[in-house]
Structure 1
Amino acid sequence: MNTLNIRPLAAEDLIAAKAVVDSTGLFPGEMLHDMTAAYLGADSGDELWFVASRNDAVIGLVYCAPERLTDRTWNLLLIAVLDTEQGKGVGSRLTAHLETALSNRRERLLLVETSALPEFDRTRAVYRKLGYVEVARIPAFYAAGEDKVVFWKMLTG
């Protein structure tokens, strides 16, 4: 069976999740252990982590957390799909799953922040295709010459 399954991240997924992140070359995978520590520990907080797997192999992951001092606003902070699985709808399915989970919790809106560098052109195009609207660009945010692009999507009325 070649079905895509999406489920919450488990501790035993970390090695495979790091390999997914490393395959993209756009995010340092060694940061995953620290990033997931609270979620996988006794205090999971409000963070949401999901993995996509096919034939029990992790091929994608998504991470989202609430924005402090806001009314039900969340920020998609990480999404990654194994390089050999990109372009097959895995990222779109992960995003849809996350949106459904947030909507079921009656959360209000979701922000996505990404780089304006050319290597993120495809990423920004996917967000637009999924109904996200670019609402801001912050010049030189990540580094000199690297702007931050903010996308927005309403989840509930």
Structure 2
Amino acid sequence: MIRLTKPEDAAALIAVANTIGFEPNELEELGNMLADYLEGNSDSERFWITDDDDKDGPVGVAYCEPERMTDQTWNLQLIAIHPDHQGQGRGGKLLRYVEETLKACGGRMLLVETLASFERTRSFYAKYGYEEEARIRDFYTAGADKIVFRKVLNAD
């Protein structure tokens, strides 16, 4: 079941991020962002979504926020599925849920960024209709390019 994130999901969602390789400082920042959201201390347009498995509880997460000073352009800052549940179509369902949520509120465009070296991730976005829009060489560190993908949600 895909739904909005609830306070009791926080620990499980941080655990998902941990299993996919987040560093300790990234986990701490993610935890702070999630806590701010759940306590109502952040921008109300941002949203967190949870993929809740009947048997295992929360196994996936997505976090999306509007791009400042744009007309309904959004950034998907995080999407992750616990490795034990990958390859089951959950990531695609979660991504489509984010897209539908944005379309319903007038979202015009969704941007996603990833590392150039993440071939599997780049293939995932291409499979769901995202196009590579930009590459910033050496963005993260020397030799680690940032790739930005784009998908138009509402063409109006």
Fold agreement, TM-score > 0.5: yes
Secondary structure of the residue aligned to 2:18 is helix
Alignment map for 1:6-45 (pairs within 5 Å)? 6-26=2-22, 28-44=26-42, 45=44
Alignment map for 1:1-157 (pairs within 5 Å)? 5-26=1-22, 28-44=26-42, 45-55=44-54, 57-117=57-117, 120-157=118-155
Q: Which residue identity does 1:80 align to in structure 2?
A: A
Q: What are structure 2's unaligned runs of at least 5 residues?
A: none
How far apart are 1:26 and its partner, in Å?
A: 4.6
Structure 1 CA distance for aligned equivalents of residues 41 and 27 of structure 2: 22
Structure 2 CA distance for aligned equivalents of residues 134 and 19 of structure 1: 30
Q: Which residue identity does 1:69 align to in structure 2?
A: M
Percent of pairs with identical residues: 44
* Alignment size in residue pairs: 151
CA RMSD for the aligned pairs? 1.3
Moved over 4 A (4+): none
Structure 1 CA distance for aligned equivalents of residues 22 and 138 of structure 2: 18
Structure 2 CA distance for aligned equivalents of residues 10 and 124 of structure 1: 29
Structure 1 CA distance for aligned equivalents of residues 30 and 137 of structure 2: 27
Structure 2 CA distance for aligned equivalents of residues 34 and 26 of structure 1: 14
Structure 2 CA distance for aligned equivalents of residues 42 and 65 of structure 1: 15
Q: TM-score, normalised by structure 1?
A: 0.91
State the Cα deviation string for residues 81-105 of structure 1 (Å, max 9, x = none). Answer: 0011111111101100000000000
